[in-house]
Amino acid sequence: MLDNWIIQLFHEGKCANAYQVFGAHTCQENGKSGVRFTVYAPHAKKVQVIGDFNQWSGEGYDMERYQEGGIWTLFIEGIETYALYKYRILTQDHRYIEKSDPYAFFSELRPKTASKVFDMEGYTWHDGLWMKRRTRNFERKMNIYEMHLGSWKMKKEGTKDVDGEYYSYEEMIDQIIPYVKENGYTHIELMPLLEHPFDGSWGYQVTGFYSATSRYGHPKQLMHLVDACHKAGIGVIMDFVPAHFVKDSHGLYEFDGGYVYEYPDIARRYTEWDSVYFDLGREEVRSFMISSAAFWLHYYHFDGIRFDAISNLIYWKGNKNLGVNDGAIEFMKRCNTILHDLYPECMLIAEDSSDYPQVTKASSVGGLGFDYKWDLGWMNDTLKYMKLDPIYRQYEHQLMTFSMAYFYGENFILPFSHDEVVHGKKTIIDKIWGNYDQKLAQLKTLYIYMYAHPGKKLNFMGNELGEYKEWDESKSLGWNLLEYPVHESFYRFRKALNTIYHSYPCLYQYDYYYDGFKWTIVDNKEQSVFAIIRHAPKGHDLLFIMNFTGNVHHGYGVPVLDEGTYTEILNSDRDTYTGSHFINEKPLVTSKGELVIYVDIAPFSGMIFDVKKKRKSKGI
């Protein structure tokens, strides 16, 4: 029967394994094999299990009310894996409604909406060494490749009237893993794989918070994909949607005729995305969401969870003027504390556009308890700067420097995500001022600046191709761009930059330490030239120089921190990257007692120098 301890924690809002009680579980009871169905429907007058095993008739399949508190349960003999089912609920106003299982582990392929019985146990994992060694990566390299699994590559592209044909989870193993390894990414971040009815929501309007989307196969095939990534040394982060859910009639919305998951107050119920906010002040909803997050970490071995739209949890409807949502704040603190206790090596990442303090500080000291936060301020400021005519960049110089005024207040990730390449926003390259060649030159320099800046990195798929076409979830990426020399050379440039990232600990080991970063040119507004030193105790320092105007500089004096030899290891203007080849071929050496090197700088160029410091004399 049911576990009373789990049920107690469920009602207290502290449960991380509610999925062990709720949902459809294959089991044996009284010597008979079958499935036990359990659902929380506190406002229901009656609940029945209907499915293909009883011709979708609830007669004789009434669920029993379990104690008090709105839980209903029923064991049905003879049901097997993949059986289709729903709950037929009699509401307080005497209506019958049919709902998918909120805790279903698998679902029918859209547009069908039934839940499927699926046994989550029994997958044999081969990632023991990875699991033993993984950490939250604060002092390790983390270069994330954000993906929409379906549209990275497609078997057949969709049209206005016909859905596309996707590769399965398992088919993606031989496609994506070699690509990610070759291009120097350490992790992939998968846009939501929680079951959702509409492809165009990209997975952000969810019906199945425990159900891996059937678009790409069944749950154990997803386990196989994660397992294969781990064996190849690639971490996997999953996008998670804790703020809201879709209004489709078979989902959580008015689940039992009453308000089970959403706010009773209509003024707080609906989102700007035409979906419904979770009432995260309610204990059973907290347990539902905490258990959902834990479910993905437990069964799928994900290495981290990226929590979407956190500002819409911090403030009512994401609006600071409406005040702090104390119930959701408590949920986040509790959720993160529980998940860290259960999975201390997993990363919890906040996508938060607000300036709410201490998002990445422990809840024990008043923080929200996340490990990382996306630096959306850096992203917005940087792209705003790049849109400007270079003549006017001198008047907005602070857009490139302000981020370091607040950077050490949180553990930031620098994102150029899917949000920046859709809905008429233009792609990264197309946001930049200038003609085709000028955009490409500045794009390379922009990425050198991104890697000079402390913080883990995240790029959406296609950014490495220099895509001009905005992302479309029904189309594959523009792989044909690699047939054009300028895009192929940019692709190679990005690979070279990622190789440097892997090779120099100063680019990741001291991300969140003051000693890891130093401006050496920060206030040259007129020329829009910047210089940065990155440092770590192990390995060489790196010097980055960026020129964000079309001016050329011969022998430009760049202050440095140490006497020594400065060898150029990457220049965006090199001819192999379709530049003019105005580079620094010979190592640059500081003069005795003078902490400066004299650098040739091409228009709109960026460069990286390996720093070999002069050994100090030991004296006599």
Which amino acid belongs to residue 573?
D
Whether 109 is covered by a domain: the verdict is: yes
Model pLDDT for residues 297-315, shown as the tens digit of each residue: 999 999 999 999 999 999 9
State the catalytic residue, choosing from 279, 303, 351, 473: 351
Domain residues for 552?
A: 514-613
Instruction: Return the residue matching tokens 């301890």.
Output: 5
Model pLDDT for residues 489-509, shown as the tens digit of each residue: 999 999 999 999 999 999 999
Residue 615 has pLDDT above 90, yes or no: no
Q: How confident is the model at residue 616 (pLDDT cuts 50, 70, 90)?
A: low
Q: Residues 289, 283: contact at Cβ < 8 Å?
A: no
Q: How many residues does the chain have?
A: 620
Task: Using CA atoms of 482, 487, 492, 495 in order, give the dihedral in degrees to the nearest 10.
Answer: -90
Q: What is the CATH number of the domain that holds 575?
A: 2.60.40.1180
Task: Using CA atoms of 214, 218, 220, 225 in order, give the dihedral in degrees to the nearest 10.
Answer: -60
Q: Residues 442, 548: contact at Cβ < 8 Å?
A: yes
Mean pLDDT of 569-575: 98
Task: Using CA atoms of 282, 284, 286, 292 in order, give the dihedral in degrees to the nearest 10.
Answer: -150
Q: Which residue has the higher pLDDT, 393 or 617?
A: 393
Mean pLDDT of 35-58: 97
Q: How confident is the model at residue 179 (pLDDT cuts 50, 70, 90)?
A: very high
| % residues pLDDT > 90 (the chain) | 95
Q: Evaluate the CA torsion angle 253, 255, 256, 258 in order and state its sign.
A: negative
Whether 21 is covered by a domain: the verdict is: yes
- 278: DSSP letter: B
Q: How far is CA 196 from the centre of its chain?
A: 17
Whether 396 is covered by a domain: the verdict is: no
Mean pLDDT of 328-351: 98
**Which of residues 83, 116, 149 is at a domain's end?**
116
**Which of residues 72, 98, 116 is at a domain's end?**
116
Q: Is 308 a catalytic residue?
A: yes
Q: What is the CATH number of the domain that holds 15?
A: 2.60.40.10
State the catalytic residue, choosing from 199, 227, 239, 308: 308
In SS3 terms, 39-71 reads as EECCCCCEEEEEECCCCCCCCCCECEEECCCCE
Instruction: Return the residue matching tokens 């979830």.
Output: 473
Q: Is 509 helix (H, G, I), strand (E, B) or coil?
A: coil
Domain count, the chain: 2
Model pLDDT for residues 360-377, shown as the tens digit of each residue: 999 999 999 999 999 999
Q: Is 351 a catalytic residue?
A: yes
Model pLDDT for residues 418-461, shown as the tens digit of each residue: 999 998 899 999 999 999 999 999 999 999 999 999 999 999 99
Q: Which residues are within 8 A (CB) of 458 and not within 5 positions of it... i.e. 6 or more apart?
A: 144, 146, 189, 374, 413, 414, 415, 416, 417
Which amino acid belongs to residue 337?
T
Residue 229 has pLDDT above 70, yes or no: yes
Beta pairing partners, 146: 189, 460
How far is it, in rounded angstroms, from Cα 300 to Cα 42?
A: 30
| Predicted local confidence at residue 593, as pLDDT | 84
Mean pLDDT of 576-590: 97
Q: Residues 181, 229: contact at Cβ < 8 Å?
A: no
| Predicted local confidence at residue 619, as pLDDT | 38
Q: How confident is the model at residue 180 (pLDDT cuts 50, 70, 90)?
A: very high
Instruction: Return the residue matching tokens 């678009």.
Output: 215
| Predicted local confidence at residue 618, as pLDDT | 42
Whether 421 is covered by a domain: the verdict is: no
Whether 267 is covered by a domain: the verdict is: no
Q: How confident is the model at residue 617 (pLDDT cuts 50, 70, 90)?
A: very low
Q: Is 554 helix (H, G, I), strand (E, B) or coil?
A: strand
| Predicted local confidence at residue 162, as pLDDT | 81
Could you give phi then psi for residue 313, rounded to 5 degrees? -95, -40
Whether 128 is covered by a domain: the verdict is: no
Please give the helix or strand (H or E) that residue 36 lies within, else none.
strand 32-40
**Which of residues 91, 116, 141 is at a domain's end?**
116
Whether 252 is covered by a domain: the verdict is: no
- 114: DSSP letter: -
Whether 44 is covered by a domain: the verdict is: yes
Mean pLDDT of 25-41: 96
How far is it, in rounded angstroms, from Cα 204 to Cα 227?
A: 25
Model pLDDT for residues 65-98, shown as the tens digit of each residue: 998 789 999 999 999 999 999 999 999 999 999 9
Q: How confident is the model at residue 159 (pLDDT cuts 50, 70, 90)?
A: confident
User: If you average pLDDT over every residue of the chain, what do you get?
Assistant: 96
